[in-house]
Amino acid sequence: MIPLELVGVRVELPANQPIVLLREPRSGRYLPIWIGGAEAMSISAHLEGEVPPRPLTHQLLVDTVRALGADLEAVHLTDLREGTFYAELHLLQDGTDIVVSARPSDAIAIAIRFGPVPILVDDELFERVAIELGDVEDEDDAGEGVDPELEVERFREFLEDLDPDDFLEG
| 119-121 vs 70-81, strand pairing mode | parallel
| Residues 113-137: tens digit of each pLDDT | 998 899 999 999 999 999 987 544 4
Does 157 or 90 have the greater pLDDT score? Answer: 90
* Average confidence (pLDDT) over 66-86: 96
Residue 44, pLDDT > 80, answer yes
Residue 132: left if φ>0, alpha if ψ -120 to 50, beta else—which one? Answer: beta
Provide the whole-model pTM.
0.78
pLDDT band at residue 12 using 50, 70 and 90 as cut-offs: confident
Instruction: Give backbone dihedrals phi and psi of 22, rounded to 5 degrees, phi first.
Output: -115, 150
Q: Report d(CA 111, CA 3) in Å as an integer.
A: 13
Q: Which CATH superfamily is domain 2-167 in?
A: Bifunctional nuclease domain (3.10.690.10)
Does 169 or 26 have the greater pLDDT score? Answer: 26
The sheet carrying 2-12 orders its strands as 30-34, 17-23, 2-12, 119-121, 70-81, 84-93, 96-102
Instruction: Give the helix/strand (H/E) hosting 154.
Output: helix 148-159
| Residues 19-42: tens digit of each pLDDT | 999 999 999 899 999 999 999 999
Q: Count helices and strands (H / E) in the chain.
A: 5, 7
Alpha carbon of residue 8 to chain centroid: 8
